[in-house]
Amino acid sequence: MVLHGPGEPLRMEELPDPEPGPGELLLQVLACGVCRTDLHIVDGELREPKLPLVPGHQIVGRVAGKGGARFPAGARVGVPWLGRACGRCPYCLSGRENLCDAPTFTGYDRDGGYAELAVADERFCLPIPDAYGDAEAAPLLCAGLIGLRTLRLAGDPARLGIYGFGAAAHIVCQVAVHEGRRVFAFTRADDGDAQAFARELGAEWAGDSLAPAPEKLDAALIFAPAGELVPAALRAVAKGGAVVCGGIHMSDIPSFPYELLWGERVLRSVANLTRADGEELMRIAPRVPVRTQVESFPLGRANEALARLRAGELRGAAVLRPLAAGA
């Protein structure tokens, strides 16, 4: 499924098989998660994708062909958003490859997983825990690991607010509850479905994101791309609390009085992931155990999956299945 220009629907096309370069694996795509970042790319809010582009950066694939040093032929691997980092810039050299000056992002700078075949740099692939089916594993690869990084940057909050209850939130909520945190879920006022979903996953409270929180929070994670949530979340956190924005794009943040930030409150974003984030999530997900809720679509219905995400009509995460993978 190919993007030719921002704002256009993806087109189903027959492409030549991708050729793995040195250190790369050829993968048969078993499932590929649909991320909000894909929507930002398709809608033109992220402005520099390669074009034409095969989107998709939550790839669960089976190593086809000869395999590599870490993953032999037939192994199941995951391919996340960070497709490659340069290994030489000051960020890579200081353990912050998520901030690499010359990164390659899967499904943005190189073709991704809305396809039957993909190639990936083996060093940046992740193992997939056996406990997960192909479709169930896909949302771990971005929603899950960006969600986990967002939680880790929030410190060690006893009372955690989660703003926007989609794919990332539904995973991070389970991890947070497992770690003994009290979770408060904030959604659009009229989104009773999302609020019920949050309670099912262990949130002790769920309600309107723009109304006052039921009690002070120690940290808040924002996954919805709505700038007005930033002052709302700052208002909800106690002194010393952190507000962490987990998305790659957000509408403009309205100005707000300094007193919302005063009291050593911290506001920060999360950018991308490191391989260590990915490996941590793959270790802990089966222990929690994180159960992902997915809605599968045949690959050819990628536009419908994106439309459902845009409209906020998904419970959990959308996953595309190439027909060859048995969708």
For residues 35 and 60, which CB has a smaller minimum distance to Zn ion in the complex? 35
For residues 66 and 88, which CB has a smaller minimum distance to Zn ion in the complex? 88
CA-CA distance, 224 to 186, in Å (whole number)?
Answer: 10
Question: Rounded to the nearest 5 degrees, what angle is found at the Cα of 192, between the Cα atoms of 187 and 194?
Answer: 55
Find the shortest distance in angstroms from Cβ 107 to Zn ion.
8
For residues 35 and 294, which CB has a smaller minimum distance to Zn ion in the complex? 35
Find the shortest distance in angstroms from Cβ 317 to Zn ion.
10
For residues 100 and 302, which CB has a smaller minimum distance to Zn ion in the complex? 100
Contact 281, 148 (CB under 8 A): yes
Cα diameter, the chain: 59
Q: Which two tokens stand for residue 122?
A: 């083996």
Binding site for Zn ion (CB under 5 A): 35, 37, 85-86, 89, 92, 100, 142
Question: Which amino acid is residue 155, in one-letter code?
Answer: G
Find the shortest distance in angstroms from Cβ 313 to Zn ion.
19
For the chain, the first-to-last Cα distance in angstroms comes to 16
For residues 86 and 177, which CB has a smaller minimum distance to Zn ion in the complex? 86
Find the shortest distance in angstroms from Cβ 71 to Zn ion.
22
Find the shortest distance in angstroms from Cβ 37 to Zn ion.
4
For residues 89 and 266, which CB has a smaller minimum distance to Zn ion in the complex? 89
Which DSSP state fits 106?
Answer: B
Q: Got the DSSP string for 7-71?
A: TSPPB----PPPPP-TTEEEEEEEEEE--HHHHHHHTTSS----SSB-----EEEEEETTB-SSS
Find the shortest distance in angstroms from Cβ 302 to Zn ion.
15
Helix (H, G, I), strand (E, B), or coil: what is residue 218? Answer: strand
CA-CA distance, 39 to 58, in Å (whole number)?
Answer: 14
Q: Which two tokens stand for residue 327?
A: 């969708």
For residues 85 and 306, which CB has a smaller minimum distance to Zn ion in the complex? 85
Find the shortest distance in angstroms from Cβ 152 to Zn ion.
17
For residues 36 and 181, which CB has a smaller minimum distance to Zn ion in the complex? 36
Find the shortest distance in angstroms from Cβ 21 to Zn ion.
19
Phi-psi region of 323 (alpha: psi -120 to 50; beta: other; left: phi over 0): alpha
Helix (H, G, I), strand (E, B), or coil: what is residue 162? Answer: strand
Residue 60 CB-density burial (10 A; 0-12 exposed, 13-18 middle, 19+ buried): buried
